[in-house]
Structure 1
Amino acid sequence: MAKAPKRAFVCNECGADYPRWQGQCSACHAWNTITEVRLAASPTVARNERLSGYAGSAGVAKVQKLSDISLEELPRFSTGFKEFDRVLGGGVVPGSAILIGGNPGAGKSTLLLQTLCKLAQQMKTLYVTGEESLQQVA
């Protein structure tokens, strides 16, 4: 038996969504602006498959023995800061993602901007931020 398509109810004025229809939008208080929207079904995966990688892009993962995994050193490049390179295990591995955490005001953004300035002398760089203004980055 096929599942019924999922649906939501969205306010045409402010975009607020609700699990069922109601006459007045609780967010913007507009009357008769909530309409039904059918949601696309999410893709399903066979029960015996396990996907690996971002959004399953790497395909089906296979079980491997630990002894079969290569232990060769991955190529790294220096950030220009000895202590930062040491913490990263000898430098940055190309294609890696590094999570920097700390209390507000600890200097996370400053460290990354200074590192980026040094790396920009050797390669193209891009700094993306979701919480800093243009004035703070400049």
Structure 2
Amino acid sequence: MKVNQQEQLLTELDSVLEEISDDNSASLTGGARSTFSGIIPAFGSRTFSKIYTTTSQFNDISIRLNQNINEFIKVKAVRADNLRDISSFVRSIPPNSAGKVITVAANVRDGVAFRLNFSIDGFNIAKNVSGPITY
């Protein structure tokens, strides 16, 4: 399968997953709640410094952006100690997604310390992102 076909399939899968996770609701429900905030660099990725630890109340890590963005960004949950991915799931967030619930990782074990990693493909303007998170 060509790389372009794989990217198209992943984009379509992201769209379906977004529809499922949105459930026409702009609120986050479930376990522990907090906020995230940071700047995604103009090129590459950044792992935000704030550390969260999953609880037994909720198995997913979900976020909601407070503001719209003008290009696709990617987000994933990484382990706090070694920055390895919690799962192979990387979520692409499309432009104009403020207020939509985005599941970053699903079925995460209790007690996993993690951080959020955001990235922008290609060279863009640095972006400030923030919002609520449940885990």
Which TM class, normalised by the smaller chain length?
under 0.3
Which structure shows the higher strand fraction? 2
Which structure's relative contact order is higher, taking Cα pairs within 8 Å and 6+ residues apart? 2
Larger Rg: 1
